[in-house]
């Protein structure tokens, strides 16, 4: 079993699996062959994009744990609204 991806510029990539790491709206613009099932395709047509940004930070040690903190943040103000350890 393999998957073939044809890119717009003519590049072709093959592998056992493909990970689609896009918003549902953008993922819905990909031409799949065979087409996605209606169950899988419908959410991509109905879900709006939202304003979001994702960032990953890597530390040598989880320094917050020594303070008894868990690294989770949830806020309704400020630029960082959520974080997970």
Range 29-45 average pLDDT:
87
Confidence at residue 75, expressed as pLDDT on a 0 to 100 scale:
87
Q: Quote the pTM value.
A: 0.52
Which among 26, 20, 60, 58 has a CA at the least distance from the CA of 45?
26
Distance CA 42, CA 27 (A): 11
In this structure, the dihedral spanned by the alpha carbons of residues 68, 70, 75 and 78, taken in order and rounded to 10 degrees, is 80
Secondary structure (3-state) at 29: coil
* 51 φ, ψ (degrees, to nearest 5): -80, 115
Q: What is the pLDDT of residues 40-62, one digit of tens each?
A: 888 888 877 777 777 888 899 99
């Amino acid at each position: 079993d393999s998957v073939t991806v044809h890119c717009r510029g003519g590049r072709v990539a093959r592998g056992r699996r493909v990970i689609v790491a896009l918003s549902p709206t953008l993922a819905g613009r990909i031409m799949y062959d065979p087409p996605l099932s209606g169950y899988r395709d419908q959410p991509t047509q109905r879900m709006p994009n939202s304003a979001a940004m994702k960032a990953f930070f890597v530390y040598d040690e989880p320094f917050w744990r020594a303070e008894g903190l868990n690294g989770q943040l949830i806020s309704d103000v400020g630029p960082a609204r959520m974080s997970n350890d």
